[in-house]
């Protein structure tokens, strides 16, 4: 249950609908997932968020699958249920194999564990890690 109504194409404003159309064209699918339908109450925030997402997740120095796995790692540490589902699905759609997924889980678990140990002991940063 959401704190806002999800806007159908009929309920969305013209400005929001224009963003929906760009999402559809960019992704090559008619499907608009709930995140965008919730954001559509504020067409300016919707447009700004989609514009940034399109830029940030585009192929660049990092490939799109790597970006999805990083996104999923952050979303897991932040306990964002929706984000975990949407970015797991996106990573699989971009070719994440079950072996890659298993290793991703292994790294997330390892990082969480050592984050806890390091924080509990308040380990001081080594001078060797200093950026010149």
Binding residues among 67-96 for a second copy as defined by CB under 8 A: 67, 69-86, 88-89
| Binders in 18-57 for a second copy, by CB under 8 A | 31, 33-35, 38-39, 41-42, 45, 48-49, 52-53, 55-57
Which of 34, 1, 3 lies closest to 20 in space, CA to CA? 34
- Please say which residue, 14 or 119, places its beta carbon nearer to a second copy: 119
Check if the beta carbon of residue 94 is closer than 8 Å to that of residue 68: yes
Taking residue 48's Cβ as centre, other Cβ atoms within 10 Å add up to 13
Which of 63, 38, 47 lies closest to 15 in space, CA to CA? 47
Question: Least distance to a second copy from the beta carbon of 21, Å?
Answer: 19
Select the residue interacting with a second copy from 10, 14, 30, 126 (CB under 8 A). Answer: 126
Told to check if 15 binds a second copy by CB under 8 A, we report no
Number of residues that bind a second copy (CB under 8 A): 81
d(CA 61, CA 6): 35
Q: How many residues does the chain have?
A: 132
Told to check if 13 binds a second copy by CB under 8 A, we report no
């Amino acid at each position: 249950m959401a704190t806002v109504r999800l806007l159908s194409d009929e309920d969305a404003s013209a400005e929001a609908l224009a963003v929906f159309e760009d999402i559809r064209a960019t992704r090559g699918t008619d499907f608009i997932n709930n995140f965008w339908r919730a954001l559509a109450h504020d067409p300016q925030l919707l447009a700004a968020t989609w514009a940034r997402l399109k830029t940030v997740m585009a192929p660049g120095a990092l490939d799109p699958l790597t970006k999805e796995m990083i996104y999923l790692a952050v979303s897991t540490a932040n306990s964002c249920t929706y984000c975990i589902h949407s970015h797991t699905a996106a990573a699989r759609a971009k070719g994440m194999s079950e072996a890659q997924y298993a290793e991703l889980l292994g790294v997330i678990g390892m990082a969480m564990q050592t984050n806890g140990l390091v924080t509990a002991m308040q380990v001081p940063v080594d001078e060797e890690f200093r950026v010149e």
